[in-house]
Amino acid sequence: NRQPTRQQQQKTEDDLKMTCYTSALSTVAYVSSVASHPPPSSAAVRLFSLNNKFALNKHHHRSATSKIVHLVRHAEGTHNLSEAESKLPTHFDAALTPKGIEQCNQLAQHTKNLEVEAVLVSPLTRCLDTSRLSFPHLYDNGDASKNNNPVPFIAHEEWRETVNFLCDCRRPTHVLEKNYPRVSFDCLSHDHDPIWSHYEKIYGSHTAHTSMRESGDADYLYNRTHSAWKALLNRPEKHLALVGHSAFFMHMFTPLYEELEGVVQYEDDGVRDLMTMGRFDNCELRSVVVDIPIL
């Protein structure tokens, strides 16, 4: 019998690793049980610098499970203008400011040179508009009648902002589908906001409770961060853009809670410095190599 090649052996090993990783995280559910079943591994992913030679396998190819991910924080939203006013109902699912729109236009001059096979995005309006305006060459080229292989834009509940105030609420899915026909909302399992509803049952309305909600729930955040990375790693593409939020990024890269330390594992000083140098600015992009943890 003909022996498998080294590349075939490596692919088999990497496929097995991904299968084990997916199985290990299969207990991470959404909303109803997300806070009660911690994943067995503390690290959700390993992060490498783009030029880190150790991100390559022994055959000098990237692992079959690794991906290049371009993380982008949304551009300036109306809630970013004043911390005090950001909690007001007028900033429900905050939209971009004129400055935020211009920030997207500037970023688009850079993203047109990136290889991107899919764009994952938070279902909040400020992120959806940031993805649309920062990757216009991909978003506007999504007419299936003109393009046989349009780059998918996929909304993920797991990657949205920590839910504390009305600016962190999202609109009903059927409204989002009408406003953003280019984006797939198939991964959203509820029409109305499930995370806000979850915490509203605990704390009451936005007038009854004016302080933190999800940001004070370390166990829930621990599981949501793992679920978010799982959603990304399960994508078949190797080059991804991700449009998300500063506070949710912070809970992974420079966590405030001991429970969230080690959600990401830094594999070199370069990527550690990049991801811990401070919170993301509006419309800031940082690129890393992501791979599954060693179980």
Q: What is the pLDDT of residues 77-115, one digit of tens each?
A: 999 999 888 889 999 999 999 999 999 999 999 999 999
- The token duo for 167 is 């600016």
Mean per-residue pLDDT over the chain, rounded? 86
List helix spans (H) across 86-181. Answer: 98-111, 125-134, 136-139, 173-179
Beta-bridge partners for 45: 264
Mean pLDDT to the nearest integer, 126-153: 86
pLDDT grade for 41, boundaries at 50, 70 and 90 = low
Distance CA 210, CA 215 (A): 13
- The token duo for 160 is 């949205």
In this prediction, residue 57 carries a pLDDT of 52
Q: Answer whether residue 28 shows pLDDT above 90.
A: no
In this prediction, residue 196 carries a pLDDT of 97
Q: Collapse the DSSP code of 249 into the 3-class scheme (helix H, G, I; strand E, B; otherwise coil) and give the result.
A: helix
The secondary structure of residue 250, as a DSSP letter, is H
Q: Answer whether residue 26 shows pLDDT above 80.
A: no
Q: Answer whether residue 134 shows pLDDT above 80.
A: yes
Q: Among 4-13, 117-126, 160-169, 207-216, which stretch is predicted with the lowest mean pLDDT?
A: 4-13
In the chain the first and final C-alpha atoms are separated, in Å, by: 32
Q: Answer whether residue 141 shows pLDDT above 90.
A: no
Secondary structure element (H or E) that encloses residue 269, with its range: helix 269-276
In this prediction, residue 56 carries a pLDDT of 53
Q: What is the pLDDT of residues 238-281, one digit of tens each?
A: 999 999 999 999 999 999 898 899 999 999 999 999 999 999 99
In this prediction, residue 23 carries a pLDDT of 38
Instruction: Say what the pTM is.
Output: 0.85
Q: What number of residues does the chain have?
A: 295
In this prediction, residue 10 carries a pLDDT of 52
Mean pLDDT to the nearest integer, 60-87: 88
- The token duo for 40 is 């067995």
Give me the DSSP letters along 200-235.
HHHH-STTT--S-SGGG-HHHHHHHHHHHHHHHHTS
- Give the CA radius of gyration of the chain: 19
User: Torsion angle of alpha carbons 279, 283, 288, 294, nearest 10°?
Assistant: 60
Distance CA 286, CA 274 (A): 8
In this prediction, residue 59 carries a pLDDT of 42
Percent of the chain with pLDDT over 70: 80
Distance CA 26, CA 38 (A): 10
287 class by beta-carbon count within 10 Å (0-12 exposed, 13-18 middle, 19+ buried): middle
Secondary structure element (H or E) that encloses residue 8, with its range: helix 6-24
